[in-house]
Amino acid sequence: MLFKRIATPLVVALVAGGSFAAAVQAQDKSEFFDQAEYDRQIQLLDAQPMGPEGKPWLQSMMDNYRDTSQYKKEGPWVVCFSQAGIFNPWQVVGNQTMKEELKLHPEIAEFIMTDAEGKDDKQIADINDLLASKRCDVLMVTPNTTAALTPAVERACEELPVIVFSRGVATECPVSYITPIGGYAFGAQAARFVSENLPDGGNVLALRISPGVDVLETRWSAAERVFAENEKIKVIGAEFTNDDRAIAKSIVEDYLQRFGKIDAVWMDAGATSAAAIEAFEDIGADIPIFTGEDQQDFLAKWKEEGLTAIAPTYPTFQWRTAVIAAKMILSGEPVPGPIWYLPQPTITNDNLDKYLQANMPPQHYALCGCEEMDGYPEQWGGSK
């Protein structure tokens, strides 16, 4: 039996190969720190937004409106959108909100969307295809990763007005980069909350989604600095979960085994907060200080267990803003730029009840700015 002779070495080779690949994966230290931007974001947290009351997706935290009369065009328009992908619940909620916003604009005759499925190379090709088609009046981009997409966005800027949101690029060529106040503010708020609630210090575990995305790197680099200022705080680990519940839960369990006690879990995003909390429940440990985001499952757990928690947000209502910005630019109306800072509300014990929506699915983001829209709540998976 020739096959029998080769089968075992084949299995062994499979295992060994996989092992080697996993073992050489290195983690880079954050290269994403900019002191001036950090200071600006911390300041903006206390600023008064401009724009219509109660409609944060139309507001701006700064008076930096720029002229767009050069882009003014007769309608109807073709709006193009190169999307990084729909691979997490935040993007699912955002997409739904964007779809509903599009229904409000009859002057947008056509909406052409490409989905890069989370791959940089596909997104670069997508953007080139959209430019080559010569059909777009404006291009919206949600970059998959910062560095890889920068050249493609720069090429697009030479041909038409570009709007970037969700994640950033390393260029100021877009007419407007739409972002909530930002990652430094997000990360620092959560880290300060942990630091202030641990007067005697303790073990802090940091859970991150994945490396190389600016809006996530800034969150961690800000938190790292806040924790470094407090010598009683010991960061026992910073691990990547890939936004996966099973990975997040087993990482927390591993750290519980190794250290016996975790006093706080700092997270750069909330999709796996509820899974991380379960690790403490299953082992019968008290749930420590937690930071999360505006997902319903986390907010419900917070309320139920009376947690010491905070949720900085990265509001999904920015998906509305992107469509509105496209319309404003093609109408020649001034828009905030090169960066449009949107408000970034924070959920605390004081306003938790306002954002807790029992009729919405567990991974719905409370800050969708969609409650008044036509399809709400059913289109977002909720019930009346």
- The site for other proteins, by CB under 8 A, has a size of 48
Nearest partner of 337 among 42, 53, 67, judged by Cα:
67
Distance of CA 335 to the CA centre of its chain: 23
The CA–CA distances, whole Å, from 186 to 59, 222, 264 equal: 19, 8, 17
According to CB under 8 A, which residues from 239 to 268 bind other proteins? 242-247, 249-250, 253-254, 257-258, 260
Binding-site member from 104, 109, 228, 283 for other proteins (CB under 8 A):
283
CB of 246 to other proteins, least distance (A): 4
Burial 298-307 (b: 16+ CB within 10 A, else e): bbbbbeeeeb
According to CB under 8 A, which residues from 92 to 131 bind other proteins? 92, 117-118
Pairing of strands 264-267, 202-208: parallel
CB of 84 to other proteins, least distance (A): 11
CB of 247 to other proteins, least distance (A): 6
According to CB under 8 A, which residues from 151 to 170 bind other proteins? none
Non-local (6+) Cβ contacts of 319 within 8 A are: 94, 95, 97, 98, 101, 165, 166
Please identify which residue in the block is written with the tokens 């970037």: 164
Q: Compute the radius of gyration of the chain from its Cα atoms.
A: 22
Read off the tokens for 230.
């407090």
278 or 294: CB nearest other proteins = 278
Near other proteins by CB under 8 A, which window of 124-132, 169-177, 187-195, 358-366?
Answer: 358-366
Binding-site member from 54, 199, 284, 306 for other proteins (CB under 8 A):
284
Query: What is the contact mask toward other proteins in residues 185 to 224, using x (rule: CB under 8 A)?
Result: ----------------------------------------
CB of 95 to other proteins, least distance (A): 11
DSSP-derived secondary structure for 52-75: STT-GGG-BSS--EE--GGG---S
Binding-site member from 188, 275, 287, 325 for other proteins (CB under 8 A):
275
178 touches 340 (CB < 8 A):
yes
Nearest partner of 271 among 313, 215, 229, 328, judged by Cα:
313
CB of 255 to other proteins, least distance (A): 9
Binding-site member from 89, 174, 270, 369 for other proteins (CB under 8 A):
89
According to CB under 8 A, which residues from 23 to 82 bind other proteins? 23, 25
H or E stretch at 230: none
Establish if 8 lies at the interface with other proteins (CB under 8 A). Answer: yes
208 or 327: CB nearest other proteins = 208
H or E stretch at 205: strand 202-208
Rule CB under 8 A: which residues touch other proteins? 3-5, 7-8, 10-12, 14-16, 18-20, 22-23, 25, 85-89, 91-92, 117-118, 242-247, 249-250, 253-254, 257-258, 260, 274-275, 278, 282-284, 361-363
